[in-house]
Amino acid sequence: MNPDVVSAVDSGRDWSQYYASDAPTKLDFGKVKTISAAIESACLRFANQAAVTALDTTLTYRQLDRLASKFAAYLQQDLGLKKGDRLAIMLPNVLQFPIAFLAAQKIGVICVNTNPLYTPREMRHQFADSGVTAIVIMDLFLDKLEAVIKDTQIKHVIATNVADQLPVWKGFAVKAVMRFKKLIPKHNLTVHSFPRGLALGNESKLERPDIGLDDIALLQYTGGTTGLSKGAMLTQRNILANMQQIRHACWGQIEEGSETVLTALPLYHIFALTVNFIAFLAMGEHLILVPKPVPIANTIKIFKKYNITLVTGVNTLYNSINNDKEFKKLSIRSVKFALAGGMALQESVSKAWQQITGNRIVEGFGLTESSPLSHLNPLGQPPRKGSIGVPVLGTDSMVVDEKGAQVAIGEPGELLIKGPQVMAGYWQRADDTANTVKSGWLWTGDIAKMDADGYFFIVDRKKDMILVSGFNVYPNEIEEVIAAHPKVVEAAVIGLPDKTSGESVHAYVVAKDPSLSIEELRNWCKDQLTGYKRPRHIEFRESLPKTNVGKILRRELRDEALAKKAAPH
């Protein structure tokens, strides 16, 4: 079968037997056609209930909706943003994030979520590539923006302080401490104030554009398989589909309007954005945002203070929680279930969590390109060991060989996904889109297998991507940074298993100048790479293994390192 026409058939499987018997049998886009409408509906239904809490400050659903409308009016009427314009949101988990995101959705402005810890180099690429014309940014990062803004189309900089949404007395105290410690960098940018924007926003002047299911809601940047960060175009339909699929998966297992959700994963990450902020918020749940989950004591405080009933996280977060002495003493029994994604859930972590809390971690699977959820272990049944579960409602999936033909049950091959949550494509990258989405099928680049019951298991990754604490790290990017050092000839980067982060980045470097030190390289990487991307181990080599056409053999380096690690000492 030609892989370009593999979508002419489906997998031939039916996973409905694993769904709740009284749950909807299909997705419905008839009533709610936008993300904003879905959240606004919840704001009416649960108006006086707590919606979002951060830094011990809470917004009710009514307050969240009103603030978002004010900010939407400000963006539209005062700054002139219109449907289709791009707005970067570069914030940690503070109340300003949901306000800004919902505001943009109300007026059809495309959100470009940005990691607040990005270096100027990373910011420059994402802002220039997406063509953002405005940004909401924490004032702690304004100096980094100043370094790159001339290379972007950004016209409006809306700065906010961590204390802006806190009560007046508390906010004043926090800002005083920050000024005393000189935490806010100096800069020469012309900025708008986030609180001032809220004050200026006149809801009565807000004009609601016609937003359709196929309009882009956000550009979520991902490295894909090449290392060059690309913007996945996620439409209103994509996100609404995933929202419904998450609600369907939770059918009968949670109570709408009654759960308290630990949100330690950053909202700029697609996992927390769709699952926590959009899906759970649309169900009327109370989100507890954790701006800085590490040190883990910050997260443990949340368990002490709030009656957490749902948790989302990655393997490393659960591992850190499990190993905290204070958490073990709490004897938490309120959590109904915990969801894991972003990276493989280790069996030892799952067992430890269950021993401590008495509840289970349920593993799922997804990608940025699928909004993200595509597979999940059925919540009403015991999770299957090592499995990512079955496709969610409205989703088809299969495992194929290199020619696009389905492989036999239990045999490994590339995992394909098809469903309404699959992205519209990569922003301004038609070739990359064509190579990744073929007639509706998303070629994930992950090697998987399916058992006789239709459960899927991830075996390996087809490409050389490294997963550090749930974040994608691409060797090409790291190698490019290292190779740009004037004392370096070439470099190769691989990922190796790590008990703490799942995998860690290892770099092999050939130096042209013998004076080059590991410390010098570490400092070089620190200036240009976010923390999780920086090599944890650096080794100098006389040469690197290559093919006869000069391609570096990363796999050979990895096999060598694993063999050395396994050898008896």
Whether residues 66 and 200 fall in one domain: yes
* 278 part of a folded domain: yes
Cα distance between residue 415 and residue 458, in whole Å: 8
210: helix, strand or coil: coil
Structure confidence at residue 152 (pLDDT): 98
- For residue 542, what is the domain's CATH number? 3.30.300.30
Structure confidence at residue 460 (pLDDT): 67
pLDDT digits (tens, 9 = 90+) for 446-464: 889 999 999 999 886 677 7
Whether residues 329 and 419 fall in one domain: yes
Whether residues 329 and 360 fall in one domain: yes
If one counts the domains in the chain, the total is 3
* 399 part of a folded domain: yes
Band of residue 569 on the pLDDT scale cut at 50, 70, 90: low
Whether residues 269 and 397 fall in one domain: yes
Whether residues 437 and 532 fall in one domain: no
Q: What are the backbone dihedrals phi and psi of residue 480, each rounded to the nearest 5 degrees, phi first? A: -65, -40
pLDDT digits (tens, 9 = 90+) for 497-534: 999 999 999 999 999 999 999 999 999 999 999 999 99
Whether residues 170 and 291 fall in one domain: no
- For residue 85, what is the domain's CATH number? 3.40.50.980
Whether residues 119 and 29 fall in one domain: no
- For residue 451, what is the domain's CATH number? 3.40.50.12780
Please count the other Cβ atoms lying within 10 Å of the Cβ belonging to residue 453: 12
Band of residue 547 on the pLDDT scale cut at 50, 70, 90: low
Residues 359, 351 contacting (CB under 8 angstroms): no
* 55 part of a folded domain: no
Query: Average of pLDDT values for 273-282?
Result: 98
Whether residues 424 and 512 fall in one domain: no
Whether residues 440 and 327 fall in one domain: yes
Whether residues 14 and 76 fall in one domain: no
Asked if residue 118 has pLDDT above 50, the reply is yes
Structure confidence at residue 550 (pLDDT): 52
Q: What are the backbone dihedrals phi and psi of residue 500, each rounded to the nearest 5 degrees, phi first? A: -85, -50
Structure confidence at residue 389 (pLDDT): 97
Q: Which of 10-19, 97-106, 559-568 has the highest mean pLDDT?
A: 97-106
Whether residues 327 and 447 fall in one domain: yes
Whether residues 470 and 459 fall in one domain: no
* Dihedral, CA of residue 254, residue 256, residue 261 and residue 265, to nearest 10: 100
* 410 part of a folded domain: yes
Structure confidence at residue 2 (pLDDT): 45
* 42 part of a folded domain: no
Structure confidence at residue 549 (pLDDT): 45
Structure confidence at residue 48 (pLDDT): 98
- How much of the chain exceeds pLDDT 90, in percent? 78
Of the candidates 536, 477, 543, 546, the one whose C-alpha atom is nearest the C-alpha of residue 506 is 536
Structure confidence at residue 7 (pLDDT): 39
* 174 part of a folded domain: yes
Q: What are the backbone dihedrals phi and psi of residue 156, each rounded to the nearest 5 degrees, phi first? A: -125, 125
Q: Which domain holds residue 83?
A: 60-211
Q: What are the backbone dihedrals phi and psi of residue 447, each rounded to the nearest 5 degrees, phi first? A: -90, 125
Could you tell me the pTM of the whole model? 0.87
Asked if residue 6 has pLDDT above 50, the reply is no
Query: Average of pLDDT values for 482-508?
Result: 93
Choose the weakest-confidence range: 19-28, 69-78, 346-355, 434-443.
Answer: 346-355
H/E stretch holding 327 reads helix 325-330
User: Pick from 211, 226, 260: which residue ends a domain?
Assistant: 211
